[in-house]
Structure 1
Amino acid sequence: MSENSLRVLGTASHVARLLGDDGVVHSLYGPEGSPVYHFLTRYDEADAEAMLGVAQGRKGTLLELACGSGRLTFPFLENGFDAVGLDMSPHMLALFDERLAEEKEDGNDYSGRVSTVQGDMTSFRLDRTFDFITLGANAVSYLDEKQRASLFASVREHLAEDGRFLMTLIEFPGIEERDQPFETQAVVATGADADIPMLLTLLDFVDPDESLRSSNFLAQRVEDGRITDAKIFTALSHILPAARLRAEIEAAGLRVLAQHEVVSEFQIQASFAINPEIYLLEVTV
């Protein structure tokens, strides 16, 4: 969806025009958006807990696709895995390195057991296989059908015999029966002593007709108690039914072993017209 990555829908589009459009809208995974995404997701452990539950104490090697700042990688490292994190964004990988340094200061030196690769999750070649490959945070929804087919083909090439590909997705049950868009709004504030004190307003818009979700964060920077800057960090994704993804995975020569429900206490439930459900697909060759 790269050509539409900065397309903003719903209330956020009106806010962007109000703020003047030019220079207001940025990618959630770019140089300025990455710290916001890291702040919002670092302590959401639902994906990792579900995936480690499937691992059931096994040790081995992990490849985290779209690893960001390592939200899934670090729990696997803590459980004895060796890991590789792959992400297209150099800004997210820089945050990964910062977190590695923080862990080392806290007495957890993972430097000999983990490495990062800047690359595209839809087409990568690492010349090795992994016991576990993970893709969290509904990242598959940012890909179109052709990109998803390429992703699943690359996963198949890199998954060890009896290995597991673990992928989370968000589904909106009954969305096909709706013909009107719906939106949720929520406010999250950083602490006053945060590195970047901000008031963050989530403007999350879902369009059933286009099967698109526009996730936007209005970030208002605060200095000395006053708002000094405002930007919108955005990400546009597809609404993908689990059944469709399972069919695409099977078509790529992989097998779906199970579909697990994931319960996240961190998930914002504010006022969605349809409560989203999170699933973990457990896949093997």
Structure 2
Amino acid sequence: MSDGLRVLGTAAHVARLLGGDSSIHSLYGPEGSPVYHFLTRYDEADAEAMLAVAEGRKGTLLELACGSGRLTFPFLEEGFDAVGLDMSPYMLGLFAARLEEEKEDGADYTGRVSTIEGDMTSFSLDRTFDFITLGANAISYLESDQRASLFDSVRRHLSADGRFLMTLIEFPGIEERAESFETQAIVATGADADIPMLLTLLDYVDPVEMLRSSNFLAHRVEDGDIIDTKIFTALSHVLPAAPLRAEIEAAGLRVLQQHEVVSQFQIQASFAITPKIYLLEAAL
């Protein structure tokens, strides 16, 4: 069920066609999590950018909103010890499954990584970390008071010479635009995938409300036939980089650099405004 999930743009019309709220599900819920995992597992752009900042250093990592470990595993490969924190038990289940996959492939991270089901906006782990990461534009899902609490929690958990690394997506010049815009794309899993699906991305941006509605119309396929159709959705804020830098500084952290990140998976390239991905690097 939708549990009050808000869907904008073409996806809202499709939802009505499919029967309304019963067709809408969270992208991070029990059925949406595998879809998100499939779509993001091999997008390594922000992980590569973060590891470039960390080059030559080893230590400890805390990945906030870790999901299935898209950032954690590259850091583990480089010799870091890691903790992954996420509030979705379904995403943490995928994290555990990936740990087993890695073990079968000869990479046993037992004893070097753990996961915690928790809220990234307010956590207390009684330790500090050399690197704290927040990827995949996850900051955009938070309200201003939640962001302030997150940055405060980060400050309290960052080591004296540690780094907080956060990626965000910015739509340059969006404040000057009055009309909404949308991009659409089709992605298909392999026929031999665990969950064979035909996915249609319906990604809608409202520059007046400064909201982004990312929706995946998922047709589940079995033996060549569509057996189920659902919409998996996530609603986020459109946040320019400059105010976020100010919020980070207000929490007692120093923004050292803003790096541009180039991704091979930029489906967003067909937006009316081409988005940019930035990595903000902050310290105490």
Assess same fold via TM > 0.5: yes
- Hey, what's the Cα distance between the residues in 1 that align with 2:269 and 2:184? 7
CA displacement, residues 121-146 of structure 1 (integer Å, 9 cap, x when unaligned): 00000000000000000000000000
> Per-residue deviation at 1:22?
3.5
CA displacement, residues 235-257 of structure 1 (integer Å, 9 cap, x when unaligned): 00000010000000000000000
CA displacement, residues 153-186 of structure 1 (integer Å, 9 cap, x when unaligned): 0000000001000000000001011000000000
Structure 2: where are the runs of 5+ without partners?
A: none
1:58 aligns with 2:57: yes
- Hey, what's the Cα distance between the residues in 2 that align with 1:121 and 1:214? 21
- Hey, what's the Cα distance between the residues in 1 that align with 2:103 and 2:266? 29
In the alignment, what sits opposite 1:98?
A: 97
C-alpha contact 2:43 2:263 (8 A) present in aligned 1: yes
Moved more, 20-29 or 149-158: 20-29
TM-score, normalization: structure 2? Answer: 0.98
In the alignment, what sits opposite 2:229?
A: 230
Classify the secondary structure of the residue corresponding to 1:188.
strand
Moved more, 261-270 or 85-94: 261-270
- Hey, what's the Cα distance between the residues in 2 that align with 1:270 and 1:196? 27
In the alignment, what sits opposite 2:5?
A: 6
CA displacement, residues 68-96 of structure 1 (integer Å, 9 cap, x when unaligned): 00000000000000000000000000000
1:108 aligns with 2:125: no
Q: What amino acid maps onto 2:28 in structure 1?
A: Y
State the superposition RMSD in angstroms.
1.1
Q: What amino acid maps onto 1:257 in structure 2?
A: L
C-alpha contact 1:16 1:232 (8 A) present in aligned 2: yes
Classify the secondary structure of the residue corresponding to 2:22.
coil
Q: What amino acid maps onto 1:10 in structure 2?
A: G
- Hey, what's the Cα distance between the residues in 1 that align with 2:82 and 2:4? 29
C-alpha contact 1:4 1:236 (8 A) present in aligned 2: no
Equivalent residue runs for 1:1-285 within 5 Å: 6-285=5-284
Classify the secondary structure of the residue corresponding to 2:245.
helix
- Hey, what's the Cα distance between the residues in 1 that align with 2:82 and 2:110? 10
Classify the secondary structure of the residue corresponding to 2:270.
coil
TM-score, normalization: structure 1? Answer: 0.98
Q: What amino acid maps onto 2:43 in structure 1?
A: D
> Per-residue deviation at 1:267?
1.6
Q: What amino acid maps onto 1:164 in structure 2?
A: R
Q: What amino acid maps onto 2:13 in structure 1?
A: H
> Per-residue deviation at 1:4?
8.9
C-alpha contact 2:269 2:275 (8 A) present in aligned 1: no
Moved more, 17-26 or 32-41: 17-26
Structure 1: where are the runs of 5+ without partners?
A: none
- Hey, what's the Cα distance between the residues in 2 that align with 1:155 and 1:169? 17
CA displacement, residues 44-74 of structure 1 (integer Å, 9 cap, x when unaligned): 0001000000001200000000000000000
